[in-house]
Amino acid sequence: MANDKLKRIGILTGGGDCPGLNAVIRSVAKAAMSGGLEVIGIADGYLGLIENRLHTMTMREVSGILTQGGTILGSCNKADPSNYAVRVGDKWQHRDVRDQVVANYHQAGLDAMVVIGGDGTMAGAAQLVQRGLKIVGVPKTIDNDLWATEITFGHDSAVATASDALDKVHTTASSHHRVMVVELMGRYAGWLALHAGLASGADVILIPEIPFDLEKVAHKCAARRAIGKGFTIIAVGEGAKPLGGDLFVNHIVKDSPDPVRLGGIGKFVANAVEDMTGLDSRTIVLGHVQRGGTPTAFDRILATQFGYHAFQLLMAGEFNRMVAMQAGRIDSVCIDEVAGKVRTVPADSPTVAAARSLGTSFGD
Q: Is 143 a catalytic residue?
A: yes
pLDDT at 306 over 90: yes
Tens of pLDDT along 8-17? 999 999 998 9
For the chain, what percent of residues have pLDDT higher than 70? 98
Report if residue 233 sits inside a domain: yes
CATH number, position 268? 3.40.50.460
Q: Which domain holds residue 96?
A: 8-153+295-338
- Asked if residue 304 and residue 278 are part of one domain, the reply reads no
- Asked if residue 300 and residue 287 are part of one domain, the reply reads no
Report if residue 346 sits inside a domain: no
Report if residue 3 sits inside a domain: no
Tens of pLDDT along 113-123? 999 999 999 99
Tens of pLDDT along 216-241? 999 999 999 999 998 999 999 999 99
Can you say how many angstroms the Cα of residue 82 is from the centroid of all Cα atoms in its chain? 21
Catalytic residue among 17, 80, 119, 143: 143
Question: How does DSSP assign 86-99, residue by residue?
Answer: EEETTEEEEE--HH
- Asked if residue 143 and residue 163 are part of one domain, the reply reads no
The pairing of strands 112-117 and 8-13 is parallel
pTM: 0.94
Q: How many domains does the chain have?
A: 2
Residue 192 — very low, low, confident or very high, per pLDDT cuts 50/70/90?
very high
Residue 1 — very low, low, confident or very high, per pLDDT cuts 50/70/90?
very low
Mean pLDDT of 93-102: 93
Nearest-10 Cα torsion for 35, 40, 46, 50: -140
Of 274, 273, 242, 277, residue with least CA distance to 363: 242
Tens of pLDDT along 72-82? 999 998 899 99
**What is d(CA 172, CA 40) in angstroms, rounded to the nearest whole number?**
49
Cβ-in-10-Å burial (0-12, 13-18, 19+) of 111 comes to middle
**What is d(CA 296, CA 38) in angstroms, rounded to the nearest whole number?**
29
- Asked if residue 67 and residue 23 are part of one domain, the reply reads yes
- Which ranges of the chain does DSSP label H, i.e. alpha helix? 21-34, 46-50, 98-107, 119-129, 155-176, 191-200, 214-226, 265-277, 297-315, 335-338, 350-357
Mean pLDDT of 81-107: 91
Report if residue 1 sits inside a domain: no
pLDDT at 100 over 50: yes
- Asked if residue 49 and residue 168 are part of one domain, the reply reads no
- Asked if residue 300 and residue 241 are part of one domain, the reply reads no
- Asked if residue 271 and residue 218 are part of one domain, the reply reads yes
**What is d(CA 24, CA 338) in angstroms, rounded to the nearest whole number?**
20
Report the pLDDT value the prediction gives residue 257, as an integer from 0 to 100. Answer: 66
Number of H helices, E strands in the chain: 11, 15
- Asked if residue 223 and residue 236 are part of one domain, the reply reads yes
CATH number, position 71? 3.40.50.450
**What is d(CA 310, CA 264) in angstroms, rounded to the nearest whole number?**
38
- Asked if residue 308 and residue 215 are part of one domain, the reply reads no
pLDDT at 154 over 90: yes
Tens of pLDDT along 34-48? 999 999 999 999 999
Which residue among 291, 324, 352 closes a domain?
291
